[in-house]
Structure 1
Amino acid sequence: MTISLTAVVLLMTAVLMLSVELAAGYTFSSRLIHGFSDEAVSFWASKGKSMTWPKRESVEHMRLLLSNDWKRQRLKLGSQKQLLFPSEGSETHFYGNDLSWLHYVWIDIGTPNASFLVALDAGSDLLWLPCNCVQCAPLSSSYYSMLDKDLNEYSPARSSSSKHLSCSHQLCELGPNCRSPKEHCPYTVNYYSENTSSSGFLFEDQLHLTSVGGHEHQGSVLAPIVIGCGSKQSGNYLSGAAPDGLMGLGPGEISVPSLLAKSGFVPHSFSLCFGKSNSGTIFFGDKGPENQRRSSFVSLDGNYNTYVVEVQHYCVGGTCPKQSGFQALVDSGSSFTFLPSEIFTKVVTEFEKQMNATRLAIEDFPCCYKASSQGLLNIPSMKLLLAANQSFVIQNPMFTISSGQVSI
C-alpha cells in the first residue's frame, strides 16, 4: 500500500511598523503588515526603494517566502546539526513475547555491509553482535515465527573496514589484564537479568547511517564505532532475547551515541519514541522540541554511568504520599517499572484506599482486583512527580490478566 502525503506549508513574513506618540503616559501603537504585500511595496517606495515580488500564491511567490524563512531560521538556530538514523530505516520493531518484549532496529555494519536486528538497551553501553560463535542463540528464521529471513553472524574477516581494538586503546576496559598492550582487547558485559552476559573481543568497524535535517539533503554517513564480537552469550541471550545482538545506548564512552558525538556527527543525544502499538523511531542527535518537558539526570554514587532520574513523589489520584521519592534507572530493556519495597507499600496502600474493587492474589502479580468490567472500576490516576515540578503521567496503569481480573 502506498500512502501519499500532501504537505502544506504555512508561511508568514511580516514587517512591523512602530510609531511612538509622546503624550501623557507614553502611548505606543503598532501595525502589522505582511512583508511581501502591496502595502509593504508602498512602504518601501516611500523610503525611495523600488521593490517587486512575484504574483501572490504563485510557485515563485512560495519559493521566495520559503527562502526567506530558511534565512530567518539560520539566524535563529545557527548551523543546526543533522539527525542520523540507521540506513535500514528509523523504525523500531516490537515482537512481544517472541523476542522477550524488547525493542529492535535493523542496522548495517561493515564493508560490504551486513544487516543485523539488534535490541535497543538504554541501560548498557556496548554494541555487540553474534560473532565467531562458540555459544550463541540460533540465527535461522525457522526459530522465529515473525522473521522472513535468517539473522546474520558478524564476521570481522569478511569486512574490509574491520580492525582489532588493542589492549592499549582507551576504550579497552580490560586492558590492564592483558599480557601485552598489543594484544586483542577482550570484553565481558554482565547484565541485570540473572546469569545473562556477552563476552568476546572488541573491533572497530563502520555503522551505516542516513542523515536528515539541518539544511542538507538526505545522505549516507559511515560512522566509525566499536563492536563487541560476541562469541559467547549466556542466560536470556540464549533463550530469545537479542539473538542477533544488542545496541547499548547508555552514556558510556563506548556507546554508539557517545562515539557519534565524539566524531562530531551529531550532538550527544538520541530519541526513542514509541506509539501505542509499541513500534516507534530512533534518531541520533535529536534533542526534541524546545517546548518539551525536561528532567535532568542525576549521578549514581557520584558517577553518570547510567540514565538515572530523581522521582520526588509517586502520586495516586490527588494524593502524593510523604517520603515516596526515589531514584529510577531509565532502561528501554525493561517492561515494568520497579519500585523500592517501602515505596511500593506506600503506593499500594494509597491505591487501595481509592479503588472500589475486591483484591485478588495471583502469582507474580500481588495487586490484582476483581471486577465484572474494567470500565466499571474507579481506577485512580497515577503520576511520577520529577524535579522542577515536572510530572510524568502513567497511561493505563491497569492491565487485564483475564476476564474480570485486572492488575496494577
Structure 2
Amino acid sequence: MAGRTAARRDLLISLLIVAAAVVGFPSVSASSAVFPIYGNVYPHGVYYVAMNIGNPPKPYFLDIDTGSDLSWIQCDAPCVRCSKGPHPWYEPKRNTLLACSDHLCAALHSGGAYDQKCDQCDYDIHYEDRGSSLGVLVADAFALRLTNTTVARPILAFGCGYNQQFARQNPQAATDGVLGLGTGKVSVPSQLSNQGVTKNVFGHCLSEKGGGFLFFGSDLVPSSRMTWAPMSQVASGNYYSPGMANLYWGTQSLGVKQMDVVLDTGSTFSYFGSQSYKAFLSAVKSDLSKKPLKEFNDPALPVCWKGPKSFKSLTDVKNYFKPLALSFVNGKRVLFEIPPENYLILTKDGNVCLGILNGTEAGLDNLNVIGDISLQDVMVVYDNEKHQIGWVRAACKGQAKSQTSLP
C-alpha cells in the first residue's frame, strides 16, 4: 500500500546487462492490453491478475498495486524466505540480471546512495503493513495480447524476491508477488510506455462481487461521463492523488478540510487520518443512535454492528448509512462519492463493519488512503500523459470491451 520505500542488499548471482526490447510488436502505434482481475475485498482481501512471464512463459498471480512502483515475484535465487504460493517460484537466468548502471536501477534508487559499479541491482522494499521483499532486479518477457490482436512480449524489469516478510503468516499466499503500477520509471505502465507498447495510461474496474479488469493503454477510456481531476503531488511520496479534499457525510460537511488523499489498490481498506476518522465515526454513530443496530466487538474489524437478525446482504443494511463524498479543491466541485456499500463489510456471521479505518493508528500519519473497498464498481483511469485521474461508476463484473463510451 501507499508509503512503501526501497533500499538495497546483496544476492550471490553474477550479471549480464539486458537491453530492453519489444518482441513481436510493431512500433508504428501503441494499443491496449486487458487482463481479468480476480479476488475480492472480503474474505480474500486482495485483487490480482494472472500474467505470463519468462521464456518459456509461466503464469504468476500478482497483487495489483497503484501505491508502489516496483513489481516483484517470489523467486528461487535460491530463496532464503518465501511462502508457498499459487505457482512455483520464478527461476532467474544469468542473462536476466540488470546491472547497477542500468537507468532503471538508478530510478529505483533515486534519492539514495548506491554503487553504480556493483555486480547487481539489489532492492529492499517495505510496506506499511510491515510486509517486505528483498531481492535483485531482473528483466524478462511479459506476454500481452493487445486490442489490435497483436501479441507483445516486452522485456520488463521487476524484482526477483528471495527474502520476504509477510504481514500475515498464511500456509499459502494468494499471490506470487506484486504488480507495481505507481508513477515511477520502474513501474509497469511507465516501462510499457517507454517501449512504445501502450500509452502511459491504465485503469482498473474492481467488482464488488469479486473480479473485474485491468487495462494498459487508452482504448478503453470512456469518452464521456468521466469525472477528471488533475494529478497532484503528495509531500510524503509519488502516489496517485487527485489533491486535497473536503469531507462530507451526505450533504453535511464534517468540518474536515484539505485532506491529503491518495488512491491505492495495494490497500484492501480505506484509511482516514485521525481527525477525519473521528469526525466520520462520530457522524455514523450519531445517525445510528436511533436505529435498530447494536455496536459490538467483531474479530473481523474494529467497528461493527449487529441487527435484530443476521444481514444477508448489504442491501439489508445500507439504508441505515449515508454516502460519503470527497470534494476535491483542484477542480470545479470535483466529487468522489463513496456510497455505503463502498465502505461497509458484511461479515460471514451476518454483521456489518466499517471498512474505513484509523490511518494514523496504522502508521499513515495524516495521509488519507482510498483503498479497494471504496474503489469497487468504479472505473478509475490514471492518465500519466495528461497528468489526470478520472473515475465513473460502472458495472465491473464481466469482460472488458474496447470502447470509447460506457453503456
**Equivalent residue for 1:320, pick from 253, 257, 262:** 253
How many Å separate the matches in 1 of 2:337 and 2:38? 24
- Give aligned pairs, total: 306
Who wins on radius of gyration, i.e. which is larger? 1
Deviation at 1:309, TM superposition (A): 2.9
Alpha carbons of 1:128 and 1:400: their partners in 2 closer, same or farther (altered >3 Å)?
closer
How do 1:232-247 residues align onto structure 2 when only pairs under 5 Å count? 232-236=163-167, 239=170, 240-241=172-173, 243-247=175-179
How many Å separate the matches in 1 of 2:161 and 2:98? 14
Alpha carbons of 1:190 and 1:242: their partners in 2 closer, same or farther (altered >3 Å)?
farther
- Is the CA contact (8 Å cut-off) linking 1:94 and 1:278 kept in structure 2? yes
- Is the CA contact (8 Å cut-off) linking 2:227 and 2:334 kept in structure 1? yes
- Residue 153 (str. 1) matches residue 98 (str. 2): no
**Equivalent residue for 1:398, pick from 341, 344, 349:** 344
RMSD: 2.8
Counterpart position of 1:104: 48
How many Å separate the matches in 2 of 1:80 and 1:177? 38
- Residue 199 (str. 1) matches residue 141 (str. 2): no
Higher relative contact order (CA 8 A, sep 6+): 2
Tell me which amino acid in the other structure corresponds to 1:392. F
How many Å separate the matches in 2 of 1:399 and 1:156? 40
Tell me which amino acid in the other structure corresponds to 1:406. V
TM-score, length basis structure 2: 0.67
Counterpart position of 1:276: 208
How do 1:118-129 residues align onto structure 2 when only pairs under 5 Å count? 118-129=62-73
Alpha carbons of 1:354 and 1:127: their partners in 2 closer, same or farther (altered >3 Å)?
same
How many Å separate the matches in 1 of 2:176 and 2:200? 26
Which secondary structure state, in structure 2, belongs to the residue aligned with residue 347 of structure 1?
A: helix
**Equivalent residue for 2:37, pick from 66, 89, 92:** 92
Deviation at 1:252, TM superposition (A): 0.9
TM-score, length basis structure 1: 0.67
How many Å separate the matches in 2 of 1:118 and 1:197? 15
- Is the CA contact (8 Å cut-off) linking 1:107 and 1:208 kept in structure 2? yes
**Equivalent residue for 2:233, pick from 281, 292, 299:** 299
Which secondary structure state, in structure 2, belongs to the residue aligned with residue 315 of structure 1?
A: strand
Counterpart position of 2:84: 138
Shifted more, 395-404 versus 165-174: the winner is 395-404
Counterpart position of 1:407: 353
Structure 2 portions without partners, runs of 5+: 1-27, 355-407
- Is the CA contact (8 Å cut-off) linking 2:99 and 2:120 kept in structure 1? yes
Q: Using the aligned pairs only, state the percent identity.
A: 24
- Is the CA contact (8 Å cut-off) linking 2:192 and 2:200 kept in structure 1? yes
Shifted more, 335-344 versus 307-316: the winner is 307-316
Which secondary structure state, in structure 1, belongs to the residue aligned with residue 205 of structure 2?
A: strand
How do 1:76-87 residues align onto structure 2 when only pairs under 5 Å count? 81-85=30-34
Tell me which amino acid in the other structure corresponds to 2:59. S
- Is the CA contact (8 Å cut-off) linking 1:202 and 1:228 kept in structure 2? yes
Tell me which amino acid in the other structure corresponds to 2:81. Q
Deviation at 1:306, TM superposition (A): 1.3
Counterpart position of 1:189: 125
Alpha carbons of 1:350 and 1:154: their partners in 2 closer, same or farther (altered >3 Å)?
same
- Is the CA contact (8 Å cut-off) linking 1:372 and 1:404 kept in structure 2? no
Deviation at 1:182, TM superposition (A): 4.9
**Equivalent residue for 1:348, pick from 281, 289, 294:** 281
Counterpart position of 2:372: none
Which secondary structure state, in structure 1, belongs to the residue aligned with residue 270 of structure 2?
A: coil
**Equivalent residue for 2:241, pick from 303, 308, 311:** 308
- Is the CA contact (8 Å cut-off) linking 1:115 and 1:152 kept in structure 2? no
- Is the CA contact (8 Å cut-off) linking 2:156 and 2:188 kept in structure 1? yes
Counterpart position of 1:381: 323
Deviation at 1:174, TM superposition (A): 4.8
How many Å separate the matches in 2 of 1:242 and 1:181? 37
Counterpart position of 2:267: 334
Counterpart position of 1:8: none
- Is the CA contact (8 Å cut-off) linking 1:312 and 1:326 kept in structure 2? yes
Alpha carbons of 1:242 and 1:343: their partners in 2 closer, same or farther (altered >3 Å)?
same
* Structure number having the greater helix percentage: 1
How many Å separate the matches in 1 of 2:157 and 2:353? 42
Which secondary structure state, in structure 1, belongs to the residue aligned with residue 59 of structure 2?
A: strand
Counterpart position of 2:98: 165
Deviation at 1:179, TM superposition (A): 5.5
